[in-house]
Chains A and B, each alone.
Chain A
Amino acid sequence: DAGVTQSPTHLIKTRGQHVTLRCSPISGHKSVSWYQQVLGQGPQFIFQYYEKEERGRGNFPDRFSARQFPNYSSELNVNALLLGDSALYLCASSSGVSNTEAFFGQGTRLTVV
């Protein structure tokens, strides 16, 4: 079985641009969460979606948005990129909305120049 897949694996963008990151959860998983991991720090929670509805939002500006599609895949969008948005963006999927094991993808490495 395929695990959580994220695309692209690496990305370079210029300040002010917009970026879309994609995540395909494990088959049968209905919950997708997004995290930002800056070098040397632990992952920071951005969003959780379950059954296409937003179930939680971390402390991130409105430049960050996400959505989940009927097939449970998800996109994370970031507008007006800043240098500080450079990070590893991780997607995690789980079968339930709460208190279940989360499976993380390998992440998308975003570099903003």
Chain B
Amino acid sequence: DAKTTQPNSMESNEEEPVHLPCNHSTISGTDYIHWYRQLPSQGPEYVIHGLTSNVNNRMASLAIAEDRKSSTLILHRATLRDAAVYYCILQHTGNQFYFGTGTSLTVIP
């Protein structure tokens, strides 16, 4: 399984941008980068995914380094509802996701 490395925890003030980093130095050329988040007592929720170019959707932006060895999930204005564990995942084959331990995001009011 391709590995990702994320900080265990991060804090952000409410209504400020949040940058969640992820290192994936062993990524292969065909691996997609996915981000999911998991709120307490719920299943994971899709956030965003990409291959090489930066991606934007209504929830977040994904910035991918030129060498693809790292990426950053950007939440433009953190809200209390964004407090969750965020997982950065490399998708190699099928929709088979190998989750790490993720980053626990705390949003401070």
Contacts and interface: CB of A to CB of B under 8 A. Distances in A.
A56 B94 CA distance: 8
Interface string A53-66: 00110100000000
B101 A98 contact: no
Q: How large is the interface on B (under 10, 10 to 19, 20 to 34, 35 or more residues)?
A: 20 to 34
Interface string A96-113: 111111111111000000
Contact of B43 (A45, A58, A98, A106): A106
Contacts, number: 68
A48 B96 CA distance: 7
Contacts of B91: 98-99
A84 interface: no
Interface in B34-66: 36, 41-46, 49
Interface residues of A, number: 29
Contacts of B93: 56, 98
Contact of A42 (B42, B49, B94, B102): B102
Nearest to A94: B95
A31 B43 contact: no
B43 A48 contact: no
Interface of A: 4, 31, 33, 35, 41-45, 48, 50, 55-56, 58, 90, 92, 94, 96-107
23 contacts: A33-B96, A41-B101, A42-B100, A42-B101, A42-B102, A43-B97, A44-B98, A48-B95, A90-B43, A92-B44, A92-B95, A94-B95, A97-B95, A98-B94, A99-B49, A99-B91, A101-B46, A102-B36, A102-B46, A104-B44, A106-B42, A106-B43, A107-B43
